[in-house]
């Protein structure tokens, strides 16, 4: 006897509108890179990138991670086409390892600067929100 989930909890699984290979090609071309350029950035050969794009070969997890990093996206986006719920600015993420290599004194200055910037931004945001409420009540 075959058990089936009730219709109320069955979920339809949609295939992504764009395949992994198509997504790789689109992202690579958006950066105006050749397959050779992308291959060099991830440490492989251009014929391997060609196979990924033509979908004759699927990248392994490590390669997928390198592709995502090079193309400034996530592995999840490459596989599913779904944007991450919280988009992270790749420019900031790329600078973190560099900041961690700074001497302690400079890291302290950077942290103090960021704290000041974030506090100023929050103060401006609150002031604008109060001004917006005041405009609505008049």
* HSE-up of residue 21 (Cα within 13 Å, Cβ side): 11
How does residue 19 score in pLDDT terms, banded at 50, 70 and 90?
A: very high
User: Under CATH, what is the fold of the domain 20-80?
Assistant: 434 Repressor (Amino-terminal Domain) (1.10.260)
Q: How far apart are CA 60 and CA 67, in angstroms?
A: 10
Q: Which two tokens stand for residue 58?
A: 């699927």
**Whole-structure pTM value:** 0.53
Q: How many CA atoms lie within 13 A of 95 on its CB side?
A: 7
Q: Which residues, in sequence order, are CB contacts of 26 under 8 Å at separation 6+?
A: 18
Per-residue pLDDT tens over the stretch 22-66: 999 999 999 999 999 999 999 999 999 999 999 999 999 999 999
């Amino acid at each position: 006897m075959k058990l089936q989930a009730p219709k109320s909890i069955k979920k339809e699984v949609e295939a992504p509108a764009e395949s992994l290979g198509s997504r790789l090609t689109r992202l690579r071309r958006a950066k105006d890179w050749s397959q050779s350029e992308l291959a060099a950035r991830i440490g492989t050969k251009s014929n391997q990138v060609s196979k990924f794009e033509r979908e004759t070969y699927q990248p392994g997890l490590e390669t997928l991670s390198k592709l995502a990093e090079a193309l400034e996206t996530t592995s999840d986006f490459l596989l599913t086409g779904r944007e991450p719920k919280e988009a992270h600015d790749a420019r900031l993420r790329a600078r973190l390892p560099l900041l961690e290599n700074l001497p302690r004194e400079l890291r302290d200055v950077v942290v103090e600067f960021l704290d000041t910037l974030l506090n100023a931004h929050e103060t401006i945001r609150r002031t604008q929100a109060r001004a917006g409420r005041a405009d609505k009540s008049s």
